[in-house]
């Protein structure tokens, strides 16, 4: 029975993620009261006080509307942060598509199972699709961890960015824990 709950959970997550990816104008996520907006040309992070840091594709950084002069090392980090966030956004969309595909496959197997009077068809299909979706989710969690590493390096070299450090170790750990809790 736990397999059906896991399938249902992944399918709902997948469909929600796919819905977000269809918005076109970007995606927003909230991490402990901070909001990260990801667009094709910029990443903006709003701190708890309402100020925003914005990182452009070329690594340019604005904090609270003001351009920040960056050393070459800092610009490497802001560019890396932007690139990693774009990769996570793309993979989030891929995860959503995989979840939608999984839902369609499981629904299709339901009809096949009813026609053949064999419920193993549903379990086999769900298990195979769950393994694929697990790989997507693990990759996405790893990418969030990589963004956190870059974010922490940026904070160390540019303390003014500290209020915009939205991803903490607890967020990364909970990504993996929540992903794998659905497997038990």
Residue 43 domain flag: no
Residue 20 domain flag: yes
- C-alpha distance from residue 101 to each of 15, 18, 95, 125 (Å): 9, 10, 10, 11
The pLDDT of 156-182, averaged and rounded, is 79
User: Which domain, by its residues, includes 171?
Assistant: 2-24+71-181
pTM of the model: 0.69
Residue 49 domain flag: no
Backbone torsions φ then ψ of 45, nearest 5 degrees: -125, 120
Is the pLDDT at 171 greater than 80? The verdict is no
pLDDT more than 70, % of the chain: 62
Tally the domains of the chain: 1
Is the pLDDT at 156 greater than 90? The verdict is yes
Residue 83 domain flag: yes
Structure confidence at residue 33 (pLDDT): 65
pLDDT more than 90, % of the chain: 30
Residue 102 domain flag: yes
Band (pLDDT 50/70/90 cuts) for residue 138 is confident
Highest mean pLDDT pick, 58-62, 127-131, 168-172: 58-62
């Amino acid at each position: 029975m736990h397999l059906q709950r896991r399938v249902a959970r992944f399918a709902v997550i997948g469909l929600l993620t796919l819905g977000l990816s269809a918005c076109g104008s970007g995606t927003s996520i909230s991490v402990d009261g901070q909001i990260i907006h990801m667009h094709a040309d910029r990443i903006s992070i709003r701190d708890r006080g309402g100020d925003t840091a914005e990182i452009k594709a070329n690594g340019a950084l604005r904090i609270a509307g003001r351009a920040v002069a960056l050393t070459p090392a800092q610009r490497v980090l802001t560019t890396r942060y932007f690139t990693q966030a774009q990769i996570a956004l793309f993979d989030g969309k891929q995860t959503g598509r995989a979840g939608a595909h999984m839902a369609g496959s499981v629904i299709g197997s339901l009809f096949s199972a009813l026609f053949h009077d064999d419920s193993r068809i549903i379990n086999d299909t769900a298990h195979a699709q769950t393994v694929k979706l697990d790989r997507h989710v693990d990759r996405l969690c790893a990418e969030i961890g990589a963004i956190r590493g870059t974010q922490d390096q940026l904070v160390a070299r540019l303390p003014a960015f500290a209020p915009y450090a939205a991803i903490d170790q607890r967020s990364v750990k909970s990504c993996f824990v929540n992903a794998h809790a659905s497997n038990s």
